[in-house]
Each structure stands twice: as structure tokens, then as C-alpha cells.
Amino acid sequence: MEGENKEDFDLNSHLRALQDWLGQQNLDLGYISNPVNINYLTGFYSDPEERVTALIAFPDHDPFLFVPALSVEAVKLTGWPYDVFGYLDHEEPFKLIADHINAATSTTKLWAIEKDDLPVFRYEAILKNFPQAAFPADASRFLEGQKLFKTPDEIALMVEAGQQADRAFAAGFAAIKAGVTEQEVVAEIEYAMMKEGVMNMSFDTIVQAGADAANPHGGPEKTKLQPGELVLFDLGTDNKGYMSDATRTVAFGEVTGKAKDIYDVCLEAQLTAQAAIKPGLTAAELDKSRVT
């Protein structure tokens, strides 16, 4: 993959859209630092923690990635066809970034940055090396809008993430036994996913039983599952940066009394809303339709 042609780079459409936007906004370059957005644009993901990882894009020049030296080979393995520059911990990263930018272009005044992401101390580091720089455009808002529209390949990744979540639920349901704790069920789910190569969930897996399930988004506890309870599952998987997120509530054995009444009310509301779905209906209108 290291020698892959630029024309074959799978995610080039995302990157090209960013370059086109930079040109339309009459900007000289864009500095992208959010790891999720870098993955979206390049296919490379790494959380640099205290270190610096950045994508530098230009409207009319090839982009480059700047990463810790220990990540350079990982970038190449993704098939990234443009330059990648590394730095060592004892080096000053923003001075090196400035050197690479100045080698690529002589116009460096107008920047797009991710205003949702760039910390003040790194903003100041950019200004130290480019004292005439101005930041009239927010790349966060541009990328936020771009992600609303998915390519067929992206949709396929999302569908696959949903299928992974279905299998995670199946593993969780199979783990329900009297005396097993919520935490043990979570462990079975995540172990099952790791065995098939899904190494990251999209968020911390939630399993809550009985009264615990009344605490939305609470973490799994050492509470032991008992027959006659409802068990809540809330989980998702990370499939190459595309996430699934789903919730299921199942009965452990036969559920009666108030728990059964709650289930019946929720089921009625769900079926009512599903029957009301039609083109042009807003989410707010659909929500109101379930109230009977």
C-alpha cells in the first residue's frame, strides 16, 4: 500500500473537498488537528495525547501529514500517498511544521483552523512561527457539514458497524444468567467482539439490570442479574471510524407487574411512531405522534 498512486487513494474525495473549500474561501492553508477529522481525511487515526499530529492542506499544493516519528510507518501502511514528516520528542514541532509549510508555499497569511479543537497554547505556537497569520475560517464547521453526506463506501462501513452491534447484542443476550454481574456481561460482549477483530467499541458498553436500568447512561455495576428483571443494553462498535450506537432492553425470563406495564407502554409508543412515519415528517412531529 505504501507505493499506492494518488489517484487510487480511497478517501481522496474528502481531502479534495477540503482543498476546494480552501480555494473558494481564498485561504492559503488549513491546519487540521482533530484525530477523528484527520482519519476522515486521510485514513490514518492515532490519538497523539501530548504529542502533535496535524494535517496541513493547501488549495493548490499536495497536503502533508506531520506526526510523531514513531507513527510515520503507521501512516505509510494506510496507503497515504503524500508526504509524511516525523519529529522526535526533543524537537520543537511547530518550528518544524513551519519549515515544511514554508517549503511548500510562500503564501501563509490566511488559515483555516478547527476552532472546536485547537488549544490556545498551540494556536499561540502557530502565531509565534507565523506572526502575520490570520484565522478567518473555521474548518470545524466545514467538516461538520461535509460529514452529513456519505459516500457509498461510507454507508457500507456504517452498515457493517450496525451488523457488528447486532452480534454484540447476541453475545450479551447469551451471557444473561442468574447471578452473573452486569460487569461480567459487558466483559463477555467485548471479548466476543475482540475475538472477531473488532478492537474498539464506540463508547463504554452499558449493561444495567432491574432498578439500575432506570439510571440512563449509568455504568455497569457488580449488580447480579435476577430472573424476572428487564436488562438494558446500550452499545456500539467503531468500524474504521464509523460508529454504531444502539439500545436494546430484554426480559430475563418472564416479566410481570410494573415492569411488564412499562414494557407495554414503551412498545405501544414505538409502534405508534413507526406507523406514523412518512416523507416530509419532522422528528419533532414524529415524537408528538407517539403521545396518545
Which domains, ranges and CATH numbers included, belong to the chain?
6-146 (3.40.350.10), 152-255 (3.90.230.10)
Are 171 and 189 spatial neighbours (Cβ–Cβ below 8 Å)? Answer: yes
Are 81 and 119 spatial neighbours (Cβ–Cβ below 8 Å)? Answer: no
Determine the average pLDDT of the residues in 245-267: 91
What pLDDT does residue 51 have?
A: 96
For the CA atoms of the chain, what is the radius of gyration? 24
Determine the average pLDDT of the residues in 261-265: 89
CA 83 to chain centre: 25
Find, among 179, 161, 169, the residue nearest to 232 by Cα.
Answer: 169
Q: What is the pLDDT of residues 29-51, one digit of tens each?
A: 999 999 999 999 999 999 999 99
What pLDDT does residue 11 have?
A: 47
Q: What is the pLDDT of residues 188-199, one digit of tens each?
A: 999 999 999 999
Give the three-state DSSP class for 277. Answer: coil
Q: What is the pLDDT of residues 15-30, one digit of tens each?
A: 999 999 999 999 999 9
Taken in order 243, 244, 247, 251, the sign of the CA dihedral is: negative
Q: What is the pLDDT of residues 178-232, one digit of tens each?
A: 999 999 999 999 999 999 999 999 999 999 999 998 887 888 999 999 999 999 9
Confidence of residue 290 (pLDDT cuts 50, 70, 90): low
Helix pair 152-174, 182-195: axis angle to 10 deg = 130
What pLDDT does residue 215 have?
A: 85
Rounded to whole angstroms, how far apart are CA atoms 243 and 162? 8
β-bridge mates for residue 55, sequence order: 32, 65
What pLDDT does residue 219 have?
A: 87
Rounded to whole angstroms, how far apart are CA atoms 248 and 234? 7
Residues 6+ apart with CB under 8 A from 73: none
Whole-model pTM? 0.83
Are 229 and 255 spatial neighbours (Cβ–Cβ below 8 Å)? Answer: yes
In degrees, to the nearest 5, what angle opens at C-alpha 131 toward C-alphas 36 and 49? 25
Distances (CA, A) of 278 to 189, 273, 274, 275: 36, 10, 9, 9
Q: What is the pLDDT of residues 42-77, one digit of tens each?
A: 999 999 999 999 999 999 999 999 999 999 999 999
Whether the pLDDT of residue 291 is over 80: the answer is: no
Q: What is the pLDDT of residues 79-118, one digit of tens each?
A: 999 999 999 999 999 999 999 999 999 999 999 999 999 9
DSSP code per residue over 27-41:
-SEEEE--HHHHHHH
